[in-house]
Amino acid sequence: MALEEEIKAMSPTGVTRKRKKISRKKQLMTLQRRAYDMEGVLAKTRRQVTSLLPWDEVTQALKDDIVEQAMNNRCLQRQVDAQRRMSEVLYAWVQSMSPSERTPSAVEETWRHSYMPKADIDTRSMAQSWIVQQSYYNAGRAMAAASFPDSLETRIEVDVAIDAIEDLFHVTIVSQVVVPYSLEDTTEGYWVADNTFPSLVALDELPAADALRRMAEGDVRYDVNSESPTIRLNSLHGYVREPDRTTFVFRAILVDEAFPTVAGLPAWTVDTKTWTVADRMGASCTRLRTFCTMGHPHMPDVGYMPMATLASILNVPLDDDFRRRQRARLVRAHNAQREQFHVHLLRVLQRLT
């Protein structure tokens, strides 16, 4: 048997088969090496690949960038022109007055804090924000003159003083109320209530929460209206937030150059200032303290309203009892107004939350 195998191996047919087997093995190994080399070349090529864009796309991209930069440049130029105009208006406004020569103070009032210049919307908005900020920084000094209760009780105190020498009324209102809502909810609710009082007070049901919020957008509001046929009240409202406190301010604007006095329209103004401070007392408890001062009706070119004129406007006799009756009337009216506002505030808070 071994001899037969040896003879087969020595035969030409056996040698040919062995060579074919070795040749195929070499070819397979060669192909494997080539495949391995090609995979290496492919990996290296992938690492070095660059995404070159066609020139037309590069040109279009550069063109779009130039157009965008040109638009930005024009926008910046318009802003520069607007700031230049604002500076000119404010400079002319300041120069038209004759204040005492002193350094402006963040807490001390001057003639500037009740004047509004005639200018474009941006300039007037800046002036309004400036007055609101001044009132905010003046809140601590102003409210230090008021006496608030140490407890969390609700209190409203109205004092009407009469200057015996000048014969002028001066009203001071101090109030405190605590609401069972967070500072954040109270801030939103108070601003909505301030923006909708007294227009929505008589409604049996308040509008939906979203509608109420739309009535009180922004953090500064300027009203131009008449409180009575003879008293003009242009008022600025705003608020400033802090982590555990929100301060609301109300400031009468005595002179507005955009709305000058016109014959036949009310010209008397009342210098009114109000601060309301909302303090966080707990997760669901906020204390609201309000301090308000109101002066005697005044006209820039005339001075304070005489008592005889006030009696004529009210259509009451100017007798010895006039001042006492008016004092009692003012106390009742302002007490009722604060109570009404507190009720309105609670209704708004219930609706919003």
Q: State the CATH number of the domain containing residue 261.
A: 3.30.530
Say how far residue 233 (Cα) sits from the centre of its chain.
23
Q: How confident is the model at residue 48 (pLDDT cuts 50, 70, 90)?
A: low
- Model confidence pLDDT, tens digit, residues 303-313: 899 999 999 98
* Cis before 104 (ω within 30): no
Q: Going along 2-148, which residue ranges are E strands?
A: 115-116
DSSP-derived secondary structure for 82-118? HHHHHHHHHHHHHHHS---S----SSS--GGGGEE--
pLDDT tens-digit series, residues 164-199:
888 999 999 999 999 999 999 999 999 999 999 989
What b-and-e string marks burial along 123-155, b requiring 16 or more CB atoms within 10 Å of the CB? bbeebbeebbebbbebbeebbeebebeeeeeee
Q: How far apart are CA 329 and CA 333, in angstroms?
A: 6
How high is the pLDDT of residue 229? 67
Q: What is the C-alpha separation between 112 and 196, in angstroms, rounded?
A: 28
- pLDDT tens digit string along 199-212? 999 899 999 999 99
- With a CB cutoff of 8 Å and minimum separation 6, the contacts of 173 are 156, 157, 158, 159, 274, 290, 291, 292, 293, 294, 334, 338
Instruction: Answer yes or no: is 248 within a domain.
Output: yes
**Percentage above 90 pLDDT, the chain:** 52
CA 311 to chain CA centroid, Å, is 42
Whether residue 121 is contained in a domain is answered as no
Question: Whole-angstrom Cα distance, residue 152 to residue 275?
Answer: 19
Task: Work out how many domains the chain is built from and give that number.
Answer: 1
Asked if residue 264 belongs to a domain, the reply is: yes
Q: Judge whether 293 lies within some domain.
A: yes
Q: Band of the pLDDT at 86, cuts 50, 70, 90?
A: confident
Contact 117, 97 (CB under 8 A): no
Of all residues in the chain, what percent are helix, strand and coil, respectively (each to 5)?
Answer: 50, 25, 30
User: Interior CA angle at 182 toward 181 and 185, to 5°?
Assistant: 85
pLDDT value, residue 314? 86
Q: Is residue 52 part of a domain?
A: no
Say if 274 falls within a structural domain.
yes
Residue 149 has pLDDT above 70, yes or no: yes
**Assigned domain for 214 exists:** yes
Residues 149 and 277: their CA atoms lie apart, in Å, by 14
Say if 68 falls within a structural domain: no
Q: Which residue has the tokens 């071994």?
A: 2
How far CA 54 is from CA of 149, 163, 229, in Å, comes to 78, 87, 75
Spatial separation of the C-alpha atoms in residues 271 and 114, rounded to whole Å: 8
Q: DSSP labels for 260-308? A: ---TTS--BB--EEEEEEEEEEETTEEEEEEEEEE---EETTTEEPPHH
pLDDT of 130: 87
State the Cα–Cα distance between residues 189 and 102, nearest whole angstrom.
40
Give the percent of the chain with pLDDT over 70.
84
Q: How far apart are CA 268 and CA 254, in angstroms?
A: 9
| pLDDT (mean) for 19-26 | 69
- pLDDT, residue 20, reads 57
Q: What is the pLDDT of residues 93-147, one digit of tens each?
A: 667 665 555 555 544 555 556 888 888 888 899 889 989 998 999 999 999 989 9
Domain that holds residue 233: 140-352
What is the SS3 assignment for 174? strand
Mean pLDDT rounded to a whole number for the chain: 85
